[in-house]
Structure 1
Amino acid sequence: MKSLKKQRRIQVIALTVVALVVATGLIGYAMRDGINFFRSPSQVVAEPPAASEVFRIGGLVEEGSIVRGQGETVRFSVTDGGASVAVSYTGVLPDLFSENEGMVGTGRYVNGVFEATEILAKHDETYMPKEVVDALKEQGVYKEPEGS
């Protein structure tokens, strides 16, 4: 009788462990495309990611770098003060997107050009994403907004 109870307990524990491993695997599989790491232009230049890796890049839009192509294609450079990365984006840019302003883009780095699928710009005069502020402070080019 005691042996049957012990055997049942071991079966329940084993089943629980298997269920936990399967659940963890399914969560990881579901999130594989939802996790995008942030990189500054200096990090991208120092260690270029694989062309298949989707990540976010952020910094300031370099002055004089915005070139509008045919249709909705726009090319520009993003910098953190230490390095610049060329960006290509096809789509409608946010209204507040402009030179010397902060931006964050999501996409892939292919053949030396960041091919963005999404561009985010500041949503008011003083906002800049934390990742961009940290990267700019690290390079020593961050300026505190006026009135802060």
Structure 2
Amino acid sequence: MTRKKRRLYMLLLALAGLGTATALTLTAFEENVAFFFSPSDLTVKPPGDKLVRVGGLVAGGSVVKENDGVTTRFTITDTAHTVDVTTNRPLPDLFREGQGVLVEGRLRPDGLFVASEVLARHDENYMPKEVADALKASGQFRPEVPGRPVFEAGR
């Protein structure tokens, strides 16, 4: 085998290894990616069994603790559509009705969203970007004024 052929084989072997590593990396990322949806987006194009994030506001009067003491049910709204959510995870301390929330999980065929993670905004000056964008798209977003909530029902 000549020196030139050896270099060519080594180059081809290196390219094959790089291609394999790239394919494995992309496959691993694909399994862990969670896309953002608003409640309106879910009604237009359900994601199937994929892991997704849904953001919006916790609807007033919708938070219900189940009898088992662990499971919580609530509704997320973007003022146009709603999504019923259930979770058996502990809720953040700042979780409450009328507050911005981002949940990650899967949408069941019956329309119930099973959340594996629940995130609430952490102070009066922050709302997840996805939630703010969804509210802006629905025309319900108002910049916060100290002492006044971001969202008021009926506006």
* Residues 1:66 and 2:67 aligned together: no
1:114 maps to a residue whose letter is: F
CA deviations over 1:27-77 (Å, ceiling 9, x no partner): 123323321111111111111121x21111101111121122111211111
State the shift of 1:145 in Å.
1.0
TM-score by length of 2: 0.86
Q: 2:43 aligns with which of 26, 42, 45?
A: 45
2:73 maps to a residue whose letter is: R
State the shift of 1:140 in Å.
0.8
The residue that corresponds to 1:82 in the other structure is: 80
CA deviations over 1:67-123 (Å, ceiling 9, x no partner): 221112111110112211111111221111111110000110001010101100011
1:144 maps to a residue whose letter is: P
Moved over 4 A (4+): none
Show the 5 A alignment for 1:98-113: 98-110=96-108, 111-113=110-112
Provide the C-alpha distance between the structure 1 equivalents of 2:20 and 2:89, rounded to a whole number of angstroms. Answer: 40
Aligned residues: 144
TM-score by length of 1: 0.90
Provide the C-alpha distance between the structure 1 equivalents of 2:33 and 2:46, rounded to a whole number of angstroms. Answer: 18
**Stretches of structure 1 lacking an aligned partner (at least 5 in a row):** none
CA RMSD of aligned residues (A): 1.5
2:10 maps to a residue whose letter is: V
Provide the C-alpha distance between the structure 2 equivalents of 1:131 and 1:12, rounded to a whole number of angstroms. Answer: 47
Provide the C-alpha distance between the structure 2 equivalents of 1:46 and 1:29, rounded to a whole number of angstroms. Answer: 27
* Residues 1:139 and 2:145 aligned together: no
The residue that corresponds to 1:121 in the other structure is: 120
- What percentage of residue pairs aligned between the two structures are identical? 42
